[in-house]
Chains A and B, each alone.
Chain A
Amino acid sequence: DAGITQSPRHKVTETGTPVTLRCHQTENHRYMYWYRQDPGHGLRLIHYSYGVKDTDKGEVSDGYSVSRSKTEDFLLTLESATSSQTSVYFCAIGTATNYGYTFGSGTRLTVV
Chain B
Amino acid sequence: KNEVEQSPQNLTAQEGEFITINCSYSVGISALHWLQQHPGGGIVSLFMLSSGKKKHGRLIATINIQEKHSSLHITASHPRDSAVYICAAEGGSEKLVFGKGTKLTVNP
List residues of A whose CB falls within 8 A of some B CB. 31, 33, 40-45, 48, 50, 58, 88, 90, 95-96, 99-103, 105-106, 108
Chain B nearest CB from A1 CB (Å) reads 9
Q: Count residues of B near A (Cβ-Cβ below 8 Å).
A: 23
Chain A nearest CB from B32 CB (Å) reads 11
Neighbouring B residues of A99 by C-beta, 8 Å: 45, 48
Q: Is B41 an interface residue when CB atoms closer than 8 A count as contact?
A: yes
The 7 closest A-B pairs by CB, nearest first: A42-B98, A100-B45, A103-B43, A100-B48, A43-B98, A42-B100, A106-B41
- Supply 28 A–B pairs (Cβ within 8 Å), ascending by A: A31-B94, A33-B95, A33-B96, A41-B100, A42-B86, A42-B88, A42-B97, A42-B98, A42-B100, A42-B101, A43-B86, A43-B98, A45-B96, A50-B94, A58-B95, A88-B41, A90-B43, A95-B94, A96-B94, A99-B45, A100-B45, A100-B48, A101-B35, A101-B45, A103-B35, A103-B44, A103-B45, A105-B41
